[in-house]
Amino acid sequence: MSSTGKSVLLANVSRRHFMRGLAAGSAFVMAARWGLATASEGSDSAKYGAEGMPGGWVDNPNVFIRIDEDGTVTITNHRAEMGQGIRTSLALVAADELGADWEQVKVEQADADQDKYGNQNTDGSRSMRHWYEPMRRAAAGARLMLEQAAADQWGVPVDEVETRVHEVVHKNSDRSLGFGELAAAARELEVPDRDQLTLKPDSQLRYIGRETGLVNGDLTNRETRPPAVDGQDVVTGKARFGADVQMDNMLYAVVVRPPVLGARVKSVDDSAALKVRGVIKTITLEGTGMPAAFSPLGGVAVVAENTWAAIKGRDALEIEWDLEAAGDNAQYTSGEYREMLEQRAESAGKVVRESGDIEKALKGASKTVTATYYMPHMAQAPMEPPVAIVQFDGNSAEAWAPIQHPRATRQGVAGALGLDLEKVTVHQTLLGGGFGRKSKPDFVIEAARLAREFEGRPVRVQWTREDDIHHAYFHAVSVDRLEAALDSDGKATGWLHRTLSPSIGSLFAEDPKHKADFELGMGFNTMPFNIPAIRLENPEAPAHTRIGWFRAVYNLPHAWAIQSFAAEMAEAAGRDHRDYLLELLGEPRQISPSEFKDGWNYGENPEIYPIDIGRMRAVVERATREANWDNKDRGERRGLGLAMHHSFVSYTAIVMDVEVADDGEVIIHRADIAFDCGKAVNPERVRSQLEGACVMGIGIALHSEVSFSNGAADQDNFDRYLIPRMENAPREVHVHLVDGGDDAPMGGVGEPGLPPVAPALCNAIHAAIGKRVRRLPVGKQLA
Amino acid sequence: MINLTINGEEHELDVPDDMPLLWALRDIVKLTGTKFGCGIAQCGACTVHLDGKATRSCVTPVTKAEGKAITTIEAIADDDVGKRVQEAWLELGVAQCGYCQGGQIMTATALLKENGSPDGAEIRDAMNGNLCRCGTYNRIEAAVARAADMEDKA
């Protein structure tokens, strides 16, 4: 575990940033944020981590911590809660440093206010690694204010007092004062300078880093586990998601959107819709072509007295669409598109990383291996479909929504209503899942446009599941072609990888047709194998629909292709997959991302966050050991599969024990996941994230696909867009947290568990029945 | 007028006959613990009990619920089995985002009222209709088994 002493937490933090990290909202930073510019372009000096994010960080105790006279400690959480448990975990960090009793801690959710709270954009698996240190400093500041208040009251020097659980004591006498008794006086004090703060040594921490709850089937520290902030509300139905916001006098809307991106409404016949009981009005909305950014898609809204009336009214609409407005998007058919990309993958494309002489290596090989892999579009499909409520009062507006990106939401609502940012209040509710879908506030802006038509009344827009699947920001289709040269010993001497995917850049600018830096940096350029000749190419791939973030993003196809191919190479070499993978990785060493032509590195400082081969080897070794890898005899039609991937500056390896029944049904007996994210602040929630990622990854491998015909998504709902059910989950899942060493910096948790799942599962299918899957989803390919 | 008995209380609703119980609960009665997930009985987020039987409220017109005892997640703690299921859920930290968990708990409670000691296959079979996009299935299965154990001991 990394040191959490004062030296680390206070390093490189200049006084002028005490109240707030750098407010970095320039166009350049936005571009860098989307990966459209490299970190070194147009900037005076590179900024990393939380400081590199728009709005930076804040560690002022008065922003995040309030103590009432009754002793209640209220901690403000400014990040989106979408299941990762950040409302619990960040509050535990603050409570631990403050010395608060968890029973007396409440958590409040912040509104969207980047100037006050710092960056609130909850994506990129950043919340804990960017906010652990500011939150500890904020709590240490609050603790010092309480201690000073007690010292003042007793007339003693502050170094004679110390904080115990929810009270401050005078070490030289029996005197003590509770947090509540000190609250009023402490509140009047100046916030201490950062260099006055002393952070607790690890030995005094009660919550941070402590294993509690369910650990691979056993309940650990059951009596002392701090309850999850929203746990009780969730199991009693009281938790308030965006969908659950109730307002007096509220209107309910559903929208029929153009079937193809860029199509427009040509004519509407709403006469039948208006006859539906409860329907009030229909409104034609302006749409968008490409680049769509966060603009609503347009279409026709049905506004009603309740959701059911709106849905029935929508069913009764007759709309003629102008498909020509959509240009060639209206010809987009994903099967043909896949064939086109597969064909293009046979020819050279833009070279993005090269070392050694790949042509020579392939010519001189005693054996070559070639394979092409395909991953389809997918929809994030959070269980809570997009939903938003907006009320416009002429010169101000208020919104309630389950959003990952409060700042963009506030800007979008302000823009839609022609208001200054300060006139818009955005309340961030709980999210019924996000997975990247709710990073895009198009659905809130849509509600704002409708609210403009009904001044003074809250308007709620409910997306149905069909809307959600038809109009996702789709995970990019990807074709990856790999070719390797092996020498007579089976050792890899050459590696040629071409990756083709539409870029998320097509959302924000003219279609770049090539992957942006941050997209290549997700496991493509950062491919870690130690091979003498390597060439990585990125041929063109145009976008024909909205392409957006999906949990782990481009790491998914890159890991799927690279980790499947490594197993194919091992097979061609006649070697054990684990041994071969370790050989490909080579000796433990740290590599600068720049050596791999990666200027992004998840926004982190390459000196603190090098690409660490030792940590990769460690997770591979741990996962295979825990899975008893050397015992390959698992029975008829049953086998083990392995994959490793590093992403979001964390390291994951998975071994799956899989049986394929005669009818093609895949039964996953066990998954062993080794994970190194540096310090695990709340190991209980880290485990739950890895377990959940495992299940989601199984769905990506086995079932999930959105296909397109003539520009429109073919799937409507969960009857055809299949996501994993309980029967697909591993019968047993074991998560092994790997200690990355004292210097290991904190990594991401929400996303890095996902990329290696599909290749591990497909490698296991191969081990079980000898069938190599190269096109996802597996679907009926094994029947 | 539609007369519904929800969590032991009588409600008179002025809604059309075909309105699904889900929307009547959420939009009219303002009980929002029952969730909308798919609208076609594929995900189970909208699960309630009708006379103790797990039912998908998104495809159940209000007329079909008339004369039946409707129980929602808000009142399941009044049932001993439901209460134990909730406790097991909390103890094992099942929920991630939590959106589907009300429906999961309603299905689990109905299962345990019918079969007090289900094996793994029976749990998976009963729970298979309830989707969880966060992927909490392993903990759901463990929590149902734990709630069953708690019942044995009770």
Question: Which tens digits make up the pLDDT trace of B28-65?
Answer: 999 999 999 999 999 999 999 999 999 999 999 999 99
- Which helix (H) or strand (E) covers residue A216, if one does? none
Q: What is the separation of C-alpha A133 from the centre of its chain, rounded to a whole number of angstroms?
A: 20
Residues B95 and B50 in one domain: no
Q: What is the DSSP letter of A475?
A: B
Interface-testing mutation among A89, A238, A275, A383, with chain B (most B C-beta atoms within 10 A): A383
Evaluate whether A473 touches A547 at the Cβ level (below 8 Å): yes
Strands A666-676 and A732-737: parallel
Tell me the C-alpha distance between A416 and A288, whole Å. 13
Tell me the C-alpha distance between A532 and A639, whole Å. 32
Instruction: Domain of residue A320: give its range.
Output: 242-326+386-462
Give chain B's count of helices (H) and strands (E). Answer: 6, 5
Q: Is pLDDT larger for residue A741 or for residue A150? A: A150
Report pLDDT digits (tens) over A398-426.
999 999 999 999 999 999 999 999 999 99
- List chain A residues with CB under 8 Å of B149: none
Say if A69 falls within a structural domain. Answer: yes
Cis status, amide bond into A406, omega within 30 of 0: no
CB contact under 8 A, B92 and A214: yes
Q: In which residue are the tokens 């889900």 written?
A: B22
**pLDDT class of A740 with cuts at 50, 70, 90:** confident
Residues A317 and A197 in one domain: no
Q: What is the pLDDT at residue A28?
A: 38
CB contact under 8 A, B96 and A85: yes
**Helical H runs in A703-750?**
none
Q: If DSSP codes are grouped into helix, strand and coil, which group holds residue A301?
A: strand
Q: Choose one of A462, A492, A519: the last residue of a domain.
A: A462
Query: With 50 as the cut, is the pLDDT of residue A3 above it?
Result: no
- List chain A residues with CB under 8 Å of B33: 236-238
Q: What is the pLDDT at residue B10?
A: 98
Residues A440 and A478 in one domain: no
B14 is written with which tokens?
């002025």
Report pLDDT digits (tens) over A164-197.
999 999 999 989 999 999 999 999 999 999 999 9
- List chain B residues with CB under 8 Å of A431: 97
A89 is written with which tokens?
């975990």
Q: Of A659, A187, A677, A289, give the one whose Cα is nearest residue A506.
A: A289
Instruction: Domain of residue B113: give its range.
Output: 79-153
Report pLDDT digits (tens) over A234-273.
999 999 999 999 999 999 999 999 999 999 999 999 999 9
Residues A268 and A136 in one domain: no
- Which helix (H) or strand (E) covers residue A498, if one does? strand A492-500
Query: With 90 as the cut, is the pLDDT of residue A6 above it?
Result: no
Say if A38 falls within a structural domain. Answer: no
Q: In this structure, how many other beta carbons lie within 10 angstroms of the beta carbon of residue A505?
A: 24
Nearest-by-Cβ selection for A235 from B86, B133, B134? B86
Residues B106 and B42 in one domain: no
> How many domains in chain A?
3
Q: Is pLDDT larger for residue A484 or for residue A19? A: A484
Q: What is the pLDDT at residue A30?
A: 40
Residues A295 and A392 in one domain: yes
The chain-wide mean pLDDT, for chain A, equals 94
Angle at A452 between CA A448 and CA A456, to 5 degrees: 105
Nearest-by-Cβ selection for B90 from A231, A278, A695? A231
Residues B57 and B100 in one domain: no
Q: What is the pLDDT at residue B154?
A: 56
Q: Choose one of A421, A439, A462: the last residue of a domain.
A: A462
CB contact under 8 A, B140 and A726: yes
Tell me the C-alpha distance between A360 and A347, whole Å. 17
Residues A362 and A429 in one domain: no
Shortest Cα–Cα distance, B67 to chain A (Å) = 22
In this prediction, what percent of chain A has a pLDDT beyond 90? Answer: 92
- List chain B residues with CB under 8 Å of A307: 23, 26-27, 36
Report pLDDT digits (tens) over A328-376.
999 999 999 999 999 999 999 999 999 999 999 999 999 999 999 999 9
Residues A765-770, mean pLDDT to the nearest whole number: 98
Shortest Cα–Cα distance, B16 to chain A (Å) = 8
A609 is written with which tokens?
């966050």
**pLDDT class of A632 with cuts at 50, 70, 90:** confident
**Chains A & B: contacts with CB separation below 8 Å:** 191
Q: Of A585, A558, A557, A554, give the one whose Cα is nearest residue A570.
A: A585
Query: With 70 as the cut, is the pLDDT of residue A163 above it?
Result: yes
CB contact under 8 A, A723 and B105: no
Report pLDDT digits (tens) over A368-394.
999 999 999 999 999 999 999 999 999
Report pLDDT digits (tens) over A473-517.
999 999 999 999 999 999 999 999 999 999 999 999 999 999 999
Q: Of A101, A179, A93, A197, give the one whose Cα is nearest residue A136.
A: A93
DSSP track, A223-245 = GGPPPPTTHHHHHTT---BGGG-
Look at the alpha carbons of B129, B133, B138, B139 in this order and tell me if their dihedral is positive or negative. negative
Query: With 80 as the cut, is the pLDDT of residue A21 above it?
Result: no
Tell me the C-alpha distance between A479 and A490, whole Å. 26
Q: What is the pLDDT at residue A46?
A: 85
Query: With 90 as the cut, is the pLDDT of residue A9 above it?
Result: no
- List chain A residues with CB under 8 Å of B60: none
Q: What is the pLDDT at residue A172?
A: 93
Shortest Cα–Cα distance, B135 to chain A (Å) = 4
Q: What is the pLDDT at residue A5?
A: 36
List Cα–Cα distances, A400 to A302, A391, A782, in angstroms: 20, 9, 46
Tell me the C-alpha distance between A581 and A119, whole Å. 39
The CATH number of whichever domain residue B149 belongs to comes to 1.10.150.120
- List chain A residues with CB under 8 Å of B48: none
> How many domains in chain B?
2
Residues A601-620, mean pLDDT to the nearest whole number: 97
List Cα–Cα distances, A438 to A20, A509, A581, in angstroms: 26, 20, 36
Nearest-by-Cβ selection for A244 from B23, B32, B127? B32
What does pTM read for this prediction?
Answer: 0.95
Q: In which residue are the tokens 């968990």 written?
A: B101
**pLDDT class of B152 with cuts at 50, 70, 90:** low
Q: Of A383, A396, A428, give the one whose Cα is nearest residue A409.
A: A428
Q: Choose one of A224, A256, A291: the last residue of a domain.
A: A224
Complex ipTM: 0.98
- List chain A residues with CB under 8 Å of B26: 307
Cis status, amide bond into A756, omega within 30 of 0: no
The CATH number of whichever domain residue A215 belongs to comes to 3.30.365.10
Residues 6 or more apart whose Cβ sits within 8 Å of residue A42: A28
Residues A589 and A445 in one domain: no
Q: If DSSP codes are grouped into helix, strand and coil, which group holds residue A485?
A: strand
